[in-house]
Homo-oligomer: A and B are copies of this chain.
Amino acid sequence: MKSYIENINKAFESRIRLGIMSILMVNDWVDFATVKEMLDITDGNLASHITALEKLEYVEVRKQFVGKKPNTTYAATSAGKKSFVDHLNALESIIKKTT
């Protein structure tokens, strides 16, 4: 028997990627430092999780200059948003069954 658990997306099992996605669901083009600060994680950790989400095409990366400084911002792709919503729905059905 396959359960509703199979609708859980492995890409979002990690606390940090859950955080990244929920930030990017409600804000487009959030910059590196902001995400890092919001999640209270190291540079390298954020960079690697972003890379993982980018490879899955769940997150898009934009690089530009603000004044003279480099600036990297992130946004969720529509595929990313859809997958994340699916994941949250799977969680929601667990919550409903459980509480």
Contact = CB atoms under 8 A, between A and B. Distances in A.
Interface of A: 1-3, 5-6, 8, 10, 13-16, 18-19, 22, 25-26, 37-40, 84-85, 88, 91-92, 94-95, 97-99
B5 A18 contact: yes
Number of copies: 2
B40 A3 contact: yes
Contacts of A14: 13
A37 to B, nearest CB: 6
A13 B91 CA distance: 11
Contact of A8 (B15, B38, B95): B15
A22 B88 contact: no
